[in-house]
């Protein structure tokens, strides 16, 4: 039974609500599928024919593993991806898809060294480039940082969009994850992949009164069609969750939240140690001031890197998603990211 | 235990504040604080963990019973099928890796072949093939040290 079954029949709300996701032009940018592995896909967003290509090196976007990728391509005119391809930057995106039952066997090491590496290689092959500008959003940023530290030769620059790295500042999620009676191993053994509804309910518990603010705003702006469209699109996206591969979830809790091994330099991926101090490519960190999911202190800080590493940080007003994709971000953040990218493109790669 | 009591007293303080609030904004502010305290309260976390662990355990037991039934019918269970599919994906990756290695080897052999086309001899030094391999001198990269 779905919650929509509880709605009264007289208003025909059930039929109206079920039509919303299909009526919205979500994920409007056309793409090609370059490669597939299990439920994962590599999507290519080509530069439109009337736009001159500005960069030889493509962008490789790694979205968060707990949500769908299309938050970065939400609506026409509100799409991060659309903006960059219109600026002449070719984009490849790793769509995690919905993990299949067999993915609960996938270890964190295999995720990085096999799957991630496979899609990066496919991107390099398809774009005829030797490197990529790696962009990681949220947890995708954590994975991107690990991959970039292990395979610097394939990375021209690293851009992190509200990505958690220092899990000692994990906020409320950190408190829950570190709780000694939370038995992650038995949870994963029982469920296989970590069910999306469990993770979503924990995110709802982060700000239990958020729904009240949302309803208040919705009531105020109910006659504003543009607001309604954006609001509904974001709501559809935030309720369209994906499960998390079981073994990887166990590593996320044990290695990251409990041991903070990435920042301590103790993380091992297939016997190779991940050391951020050895990372030498230019880094851009985009963090949000009012982010209650990824706190500013948990994002990459200059002291996590070697002094010589080029580091820049854009601290943006807004929450976890609004800071990156809101109208303010479109006007000020996206052009600055574009400038930063073009600057990296013009500099010679360190070998 | 001390911590539990100190947190509990602050929860009651916050409840009192809600009762004494004069505006809805004040109620909301204190309610938010209260929920924040509850959601990190050891009692709440212990109970939630207990619920999760019990639920996991019962699901695990059910899975194991189902596995036994399938096994008694001499049929592969869900776990077996998952593992087979997982291994197929890993094989796909290994094929990709082998292809990559093969390409690299082919490139290396091609490079070797171009270098080993003809052995050098004094009268062949002006040979065109050799000129292709040697770095060409241009005005810009030649620095005269004399």
**pLDDT (tens digit per residue) in B54-67:** 999 999 999 999 98
Residues of B in contact with A179 (CB under 8 A): 45, 49
Q: How many C-beta atoms surround the C-beta of residue A211 within 10 A? A: 10
Please report the pLDDT score of residue B121 as a whole number: 52
At A213 the pLDDT is: 85
Q: CATH code at A126? A: 3.40.50.1820
Residue A20 has pLDDT above 90, yes or no: no
Contact B56 A187 (CB under 8 A): yes
Q: Do B59 and A102 touch (CB under 8 A)?
A: no
Tell me the chain A residues in contact with residue B29 when contact means C-beta distances shorter than 8 Å: none
Nearest CA in chain A to B80: A102
What pLDDT shows up at residue B116?
A: 67
Taking each helix axis from N to C end, the angle separating A225-238 and A13-23, rounded to the nearest 10 degrees, works out to: 90
Whether A11 has its CB under 8 Å from any CB of chain B: the answer is no
Q: Which of A208, A211, A245, A253 is best to mutate for the B interface (most B CBs within 10 A)?
A: A208
- The CA angle A85-A87-A92, to the nearest 5 degrees, is 30
* Per-position DSSP letters for B36-47, written without gaps between them: HHHHT-HHHHHH
* Residue A95 pLDDT greater than 90, yes or no: yes
Give B75's pLDDT tier (boundaries 50, 70, 90).
Answer: confident
With residues binned 3-state (H G I as helix, E B as strand, rest as coil), the percentages for chain A, rounded to 5, are 50, 15, 35
> Is pLDDT of A7 > 80?
no
Interatomic CA distance for residues B100 and B92, integer angstroms: 12
**pLDDT confidence bin for B141, thresholds 50/70/90:** very low
User: Is the residue at A160 inside a domain?
Assistant: yes
Closest CA to A199 of A140, A161, A235, A252: A252
Average pLDDT of chain A is 89
Q: Looking at the partner chain, which of B36, B83, B93 has a beta carbon nearest the beta carbon of A114? A: B93
Contacts of B35 in chain A (CB under 8 A): 208-209
What is the structure's pLDDT at A209?
Answer: 86
Give the distance from residue A108's alpha carbon to the nearest chain B alpha carbon, in angstroms. Answer: 14
Is A187 an 8 Å CB contact of chain B?
yes
Question: Is pLDDT of B138 > 60?
Answer: no
Of A276 and A22, the structure prediction assigns the larger pLDDT to A276
Taking residues A142-162, what's their average pLDDT? 95
A45 belongs to a structural domain: yes
The answer to whether residue B108 scores a pLDDT higher than 70 is yes
H-helix segments, B40-117: 42-72, 78-115
Provide the residue range defining the domain that includes A283: 23-346
Place of tokens 């309720």: A239
* A15 part of a folded domain: no
Q: Is residue A329 part of a domain?
A: yes
Q: Which of A261, A177, A245, A226 is nearest to A37 (CA)?
A: A245
**Domains in chain A: how many in total?**
1
Nearest chain B CA: its distance from A185 CA (Å)? 10
**Does residue A4 lie within any of the structural domains?**
no
3-state class (DSSP) for residue A8: coil
pLDDT at A159 over 60: yes
* Band (B3; pLDDT cuts 50, 70, 90): low
Smallest CA–CA distance, residue B136 to chain A, in Å, is: 23
* Per-residue confidence (pLDDT) for residue A90, from 0 to 100: 95
Residues A311-325, mean pLDDT to the nearest whole number? 91
B103 at A interface, C-beta within 8 A: no
pLDDT (0 to 100) of residue B143: 30
Task: Inform me whether the C-beta atom of residue B82 falls under 8 Å from chain A C-beta atoms.
Answer: yes
Interface contact A100, partner B, CB < 8 A: yes
How far is CA A276 from each of CA A110, A200, A332, B69, rounded to the nearest angstrom? 20, 31, 29, 49
**What does each C-alpha distance from A269 to A121, B48, B74 come to in angstroms?**
18, 32, 38
> Is 50 exceeded by the pLDDT of residue B139?
no
Chain B residues with CB inside 8 Å of A208's CB? 35, 39
Nearest by CB to A208, from B35, B40, B81: name it. Answer: B35
Supply the pLDDT for residue A222: 84
For A28-69, the pLDDT digits (tens) are 999 999 999 888 999 999 999 999 988 899 999 999 998 899
Residue A226, pLDDT score? 86
Distance from CA of A122 to the nearest CA of B (A): 10
Condensed to tens digits (0 to 9), the pLDDT of residues A98-136 reads 898 889 999 999 999 989 999 999 999 999 999 999 999
Asked if A102 and B90 come within 8 Å (Cβ–Cβ), the reply is no
A13-22, A23-32, A76-85, B25-34 — which one is most confidently predicted on average? A76-85
Q: Tell me whether B45 touches chain A (CB under 8 Å).
A: yes
Where is pLDDT greater, at B2 or A305?
A305
Nearest to A121 among B59, B81, B100 (CB): B100
Strands A268-269 and A272-273: antiparallel
pLDDT for the residue A10: 60
Residues 6 or more apart whose Cβ sits within 8 Å of residue A27: A69, A70, A73, A74
A208 and chain B in contact, CB less than 8 A:
yes
Main-chain dihedrals φ then ψ at residue A128, nearest 5 degrees: 55, 35
A340 domain-assigned? yes
A135 in helix, strand or coil? strand
With CA atoms as reference, the chain B residue closest to A121 would be: B100
Per-residue pLDDT, B142: 30
In a domain, A213, yes or no: yes
pLDDT at site B89: 87
Q: Does residue A10 form part of some domain?
A: no
Average pLDDT, chain B: 77
Q: What is the mean pLDDT of residues B9-15?
A: 77
Instruction: Give contacts of A187 with chain B, Cβ < 8 Å.
Output: 52-53, 56
Quote the pLDDT of residue B132: 44
How would you label A141-167 residue by residue, b for 16+ Cβ within 10 Å and e otherwise? bbbbbbbbbbbbebbbbbbbbbbbbbb
Q: Is the pLDDT of residue B96 over 70?
A: yes
Average pLDDT over residues A17-24: 71
Average pLDDT estimate for B93-97: 87
Mutation target to probe the A interface, by most A beta carbons within 10 A, among B26, B46, B52 is B52
Chain A residues inside the 8 Å CB shell of B36: 172
């Amino acid at each position: 039974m779905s919650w929509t079954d509880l709605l009264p029949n007289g208003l025909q709300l059930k039929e109206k609500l079920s039509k919303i996701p299909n009526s919205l032009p979500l994920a409007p940018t056309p793409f090609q599928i370059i490669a597939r592995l299990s439920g994962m896909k590599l999507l290519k967003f080509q530069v439109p024919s009337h736009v001159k290509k500005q960069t030889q090196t493509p962008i490789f976007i790694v979205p968060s593993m707990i949500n769908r990728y299309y938050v970065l391509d939400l609506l026409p005119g509100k799409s991060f991806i659309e903006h960059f391809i219109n600026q002449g930057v070719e984009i490849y995106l790793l769509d995690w898809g919905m993990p299949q039952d067999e993915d609960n066997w996938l270890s964190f090491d295999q995720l990085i060294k096999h799957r991630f590496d496979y899609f990066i290689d496919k991107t390099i092959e398809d774009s005829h480039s030797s490197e990529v500008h790696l962009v990681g959003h949220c947890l995708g940023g954590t994975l991107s940082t690990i991959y970039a530290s292990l395979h610097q030769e394939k990375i021209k620059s690293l851009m992190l969009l509200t990505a958690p790295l220092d899990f000692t500042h994990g906020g409320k999620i950190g408190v829950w994850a570190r709780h000694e009676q939370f038995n992650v191993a038995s949870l994963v053994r029982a469920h296989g992949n970590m069910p999306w509804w469990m993770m979503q309910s924990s995110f709802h518990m982060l700000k239990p009164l958020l729904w009240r603010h949302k309803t208040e705003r919705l009531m105020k702006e109910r006659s504003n069609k543009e607001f309604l469209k954006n609001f509904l699109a974001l709501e559809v996206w935030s309720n369209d969750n994906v499960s998390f591969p079981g073994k990887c979830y166990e590593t996320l809790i044990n290695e990251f939240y409990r041991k903070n091994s990435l920042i301590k330099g103790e993380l091992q991926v297939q016997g190779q140690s991940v050391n951020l101090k050895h990372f030498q490519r230019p880094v851009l960190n985009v963090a949000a001031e009012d982010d209650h999911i990824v706190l500013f202190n948990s994002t990459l800080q200059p002291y996590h890197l070697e002094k010589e590493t080029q580091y820049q940080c854009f601290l943006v007003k807004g929450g976890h998603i609004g800071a990156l994709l809101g109208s303010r971000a479109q006007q000020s953040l996206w052009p600055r990211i574009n400038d930063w990218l073009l600057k990296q493109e013009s500099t010679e790669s360190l070998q | 235990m001390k911590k539990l009591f100190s947190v509990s007293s602050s929860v009651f303080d916050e409840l009192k504040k809600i009762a004494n609030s004069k505006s809805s904004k004040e109620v909301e502010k204190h309610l938010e604080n209260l929920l924040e305290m509850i959601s990190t309260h050891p009692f709440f976390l212990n109970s939630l963990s207990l619920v999760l662990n019990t639920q996991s355990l019962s699901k695990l037991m059910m899975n194991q019973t189902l596995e036994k039934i399938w096994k008694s019918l001499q049929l592969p269970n869900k776990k077996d099928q998952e593992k087979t599919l997982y291994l197929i994906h890993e094989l796909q990756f290994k094929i990709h890796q082998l292809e990559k290695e093969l390409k690299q080897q082919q490139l290396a052999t091609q490079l070797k072949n171009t270098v080993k086309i003809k052995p050098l001899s004094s009268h062949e030094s002006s040979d065109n093939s050799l000129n292709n391999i040697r770095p060409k001198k241009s005005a810009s990269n030649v620095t005269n040290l004399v």
